[in-house]
Amino acid sequence: MHPWIADRTASFDSSGIRRVFDLAAKLKDPINLSIGQPDFDVPDEIKEATIEAIRSGKNAYSPTQGIAPLRQAILDEVQEKYPGQDRDVFISSGTSGGLVLAMLSLVNPGDEVIFLDPYFVMYPALVRLCGGVPVMIDSYPDFRLDPDKIEAAITPKTKMIIVNSPGNPTGVVASKSDQQAVAEIAAKHNIALISDEIYSRFFYDGEFYSPATDNPDTIVIDGFSKSHAMTGWRVGYVHGPPEVIATMLKIQQYSFVCSPQPAQWGALRAMEVSLQANVDDYRRKRDFLVQELSPNYELTSPGGAFYLFPKAPGQQGGEAFVERAIEHGLLIIPGKIFSKHDSHFRISFAASDETLQRGTELLIQLAKSS
Ligand SMILES: Cc1ncc(COP(=O)(O)O)c(C=O)c1O
């Protein structure tokens, strides 16, 4: 390691993802089912609002907490959803920015942070960056948020529980009763509860439920990246107890400074754009994939997001299977990147119908020859 590099950076690595990207770069016309963002473009009215913001000179820093009308619009929504709760809100540099600030604000060295395995790749990396200890709860084979397992993992060092429903990489939605139970456990043990709700709009069966409903101290992290295909624009938001929000803002002021101002004006417009057609379309894609792949793959039907996390066929393991798929021109992600286990793989159905058709045909063929 280069002598200048700080020790904390050695506590995690990103070689797994790099390897997939390296393999992908060699493919000429891949069937790409690996992408973690919608396949539709940013709606035109959002683009127009952002361009108008740039043209009219809204190009400076915004206040650290975000432009007033966007904060107010989100706060109005939050107050409607969680009446009577004392919650403050700020605009972060994407959901990732919110996660970074939450960890820096709450995790002391040695603190334990509980989340499910499989997990979103940033969780263990950020916990370690803060000197914390990731405590991963094995959720195979159904990826359920099991409150008993969560409670059993609590020690005097537990500082935080992260829930992510619908989840990346499984797409699985935690039931209302399981989330309620986890919300109560967090309150009972005085543990911070982070709810990463980035996929809340991609919800296919029933009503979205947030643990903030039952635990008013829940820190909710959400954003516009996935819902409005604005991943490159970096607009997210966080709401939670005012003192925690104030601490996160103090760090934002000396790090991200603010979310890009023109993109915040676009996000304000985005709040008026209906996503129903896109959600209906993704539900249809989910149904298609589950129906086509279920006979040949062990899988849990995802209630949200745009991912499917099937078990690799045969005894070969996830990584070996993904390498075989890539050799055949199909780009998918080995489950190992999101997990201690190397048994599954992630498919993203944020892709055109034609790509999904080609991808499923190949996957069925690969399962039959495994
Ligand atoms: C669970 C989860 N949280 C957060 C993020 C980060 O999103 P953003 O673009 O808002 O930083 C992602 C992106 O893949 C995600 O899957």
Give, for 78, the enclosing helix (H) or strand (E). helix 68-81
In ligand 1, which atom is closest to the CA atom of 236? 10
Show the DSSP H helices in 84-202 as ranges.
94-106, 122-129, 147-152, 176-188
Look at ligand 1, atom 16, and give the residue with the nearest C-alpha.
Answer: 168
- Give yes or no: residues 149 and 191 share one domain: yes
How many other C-beta atoms lie within 10 A of the C-beta of residue 326?
A: 19
Residue with tokens 């792949």: 293
Q: How far apart are CA 36 and CA 325, in angstroms?
A: 18
Residue 361 lies in a domain: yes
What SS3 state is found at 56? coil
Asked whether residue 255 falls in the same domain as residue 317, the answer is: no
Which residue from 173, 202, 225 has its CB within 8 A of the most atoms of ligand 1, so it is best to mutate? 225
What is the pLDDT at residue 136? 98
19 pLDDT more than 80: no
**Residue from 34, 35, 95 whose mutation best tests the ligand 1 pocket (most atoms within 8 A of CB):** 95
CA distance 350 to 284: 11
- Report whether the peptide linkage leading into residue 141 is cis, meaning its omega lies within 30 degrees of zero: yes
Q: Which of 208, 236, 270 is the last residue of a domain?
A: 270
For ligand 1, atom 13, name the residue with the nearest CA: 36
Name the pLDDT band for 249 (thresholds 50, 70, 90). very high
Residue nearest atom 7 of ligand 1, based on CA coordinates: 95
Does the pLDDT of residue 21 top 80, yes or no?
A: no
Q: How far is the CA of 326 from the centre of ligand 1 (A)?
A: 25
Start-to-end Cα distance in the chain:
41
Same domain, 74 and 102: yes
**Shared-domain flag, residues 122 and 227:** yes
Q: Judge if 285 and 257 occupy the same domain.
A: no
What's the mean pLDDT when you consider all of the chain? 96
Measured from the Cα of 37, ligand 1's closest atom is 14
Q: Is 7 exposed, middle or buried, given 0-12, 13-18 or 19+ CB atoms closer than 10 A?
A: exposed
Could you tell me the distance, in angstroms and rounded to a whole number, from the CA of residue 338 to the centre of ligand 1?
Answer: 13
Specify whether the CB–CB gap between 122 and 344 falls below 8 A: no
Q: What pLDDT score was predicted for residue 26?
A: 81
Residue 333 has pLDDT above 80, yes or no: yes
Which atom in ligand 1 lies closest to the alpha carbon of residue 98? 11
pLDDT of residue 266: 98
Domain containing 210 equals 60-270
* Domain CATH for 348: 3.90.1150.10
Give mean pLDDT, residues 252-280.
96
Please name the helix (run of DSSP H) or strand (run of DSSP E) that holds residue 15, with its range, or none: helix 15-25
Kindly state whether residues 216 and 249 are assigned to the same domain.
yes
Tokens in use for 315?
A: 């005894």
pLDDT at 311: 97
| Residue 147 is assigned to a structural domain of this protein | yes
- Is 27 exposed, middle or buried (CB count within 10 Å of its CB: 0-12, 13-18, 19+)? middle
Dihedrals phi, psi of 291, to nearest 5 degrees: -65, -45
Residues 265 and 282 in one domain: no
Same domain, 252 and 115: yes
Q: pLDDT, tens digit, for every residue of 125-178?
A: 999 999 999 999 999 999 999 999 999 999 999 999 999 999 999 999 999 999
pLDDT at 29 over 90: no
C-alpha 195 – ligand 1 centre gap (Å)? 12
Backbone φ, ψ for residue 112 (5° rounding): -100, 140
Same domain, 235 and 283: no
SS3 (DSSP) at 370: coil
Q: Is residue 266 part of a domain?
A: yes
Q: Choose one of 204, 238, 270: the last residue of a domain.
A: 270
Lining residues, ligand 1, CB within 6 Å: 36, 94-96, 120, 164, 168, 196, 198, 223, 225, 231, 236
Residue nearest to atom 14 of ligand 1 (CA): 36
For residue 231, give the ligand 1 atom closest to its CA: 9
Residue 247 within a domain: yes
Are 220 and 192 a contacting pair, CB within 8 Å?
no
Confidence of residue 18 (pLDDT cuts 50, 70, 90): confident
Ligand 1 nearest-atom number relative to CA 99: 4
pLDDT score at 171: 98
pLDDT of amino acid 237: 98
User: pLDDT for 70-117, tens place per residue?
Assistant: 999 999 999 999 999 999 999 999 999 999 999 999 999 999 999 999
Choosing from 243, 270, 297, the residue where a domain stops is: 270
Cβ neighbors of 233 (< 8 A, separation 6 or more) are 42, 50, 224, 225, 260, 263, 266, 267
Please say whether the beta carbons of 212 and 218 come within 8 A. yes
261 and 53 Cβ atoms separated by less than 8 Å: yes
338 residue type, one letter = F
**What was the pLDDT predicted at 300?**
95
